[in-house]
Amino acid sequence: MQTAIGIMRFNHLHPPFDNPAVRRALLGAVDQAAAMQAVAGTDPAGWRDRIGLFGPEAPLANDAGIAVLDGPRDYAKVQRELAAAGYHGEQIVALDTADISVIHALALVGVDALRKSGMDVDIQSMDFGTMVRRRGSKQPVQQGGWNVFFTFFDSISNFTPAGNPGLRGNGGDGWDGWPTSPRLEELRQAWLDAGDLDAEKRICRELQLQLWRDVPHIPMGQYSQQTCYRRTLTDVPKGPPLFFGVRPA
């Protein structure tokens, strides 16, 4: 079994999400439980909310600042905070991956949260390959660009800061969305230089607090990805569905 954390990923190059106050306001809009129920069903055994940078099974998981995602969502408050931050109803383009059910479900819940927050959202549906090409565009929306997309980080890429592209703050040289955050980069390097697990944990608490300040993306919860296979197979590795070494039973 493998887990995956859903995210709402912003384009930091163009309005309105070039404004950190706009991104921070939306922390009050995302309902992780609702997102994961749409993805994985109503049984809470298959998903978790109150998710920050890491899933609860990861040794670096922590609850630093998680209160921003707790409690009932107050969309009137989010609307006031967005207006105070300078958002005044401009249309945003959200990319929806229509051919992968879990990403599609995540996008629908995410767009619903944006609309409840008073944002004018143009949701554009496409297949995964087209979405990956589209999200690589740094052009403004009027020239084929985008403002927000939705995806998942699996437990392999999301186990430490080293393998998670969403934690980079290296601007145009980074992963799609291109946030610039010297502090995220400093903390990532500090984690790489840490001498023991206790130091790594302290740094990751700071990293998670910085996530809520810079908001390169918003975590939308974690679900368990199940793998099914025939009884006639053996030596199937645990975790993601890798087929190396699998043989007839």
Q: What is the pLDDT of residues 85-141, one digit of tens each?
A: 999 999 999 999 999 999 999 999 999 999 999 999 999 999 999 999 999 999 999
Check pLDDT > 90 for residue 190: yes
Domain spanning 2-160+216-248: which CATH class is it, in words? alpha beta
Nearest to 179 by CA among 170, 189, 188: 170
| pLDDT > 80? residue 213 | yes
pLDDT digits (tens, 9 = 90+) for 43-55: 999 999 999 999 9
In which band, very low, low, confident or very high, does the pLDDT at 165 lie, cut at 50, 70 and 90?
very high
Domain ranges of the chain: 2-160+216-248
pTM: predicted TM-score of the whole model, two decimal places: 0.93
pLDDT tier at 239, thresholds 50, 70, 90: low
pLDDT at site 158: 84
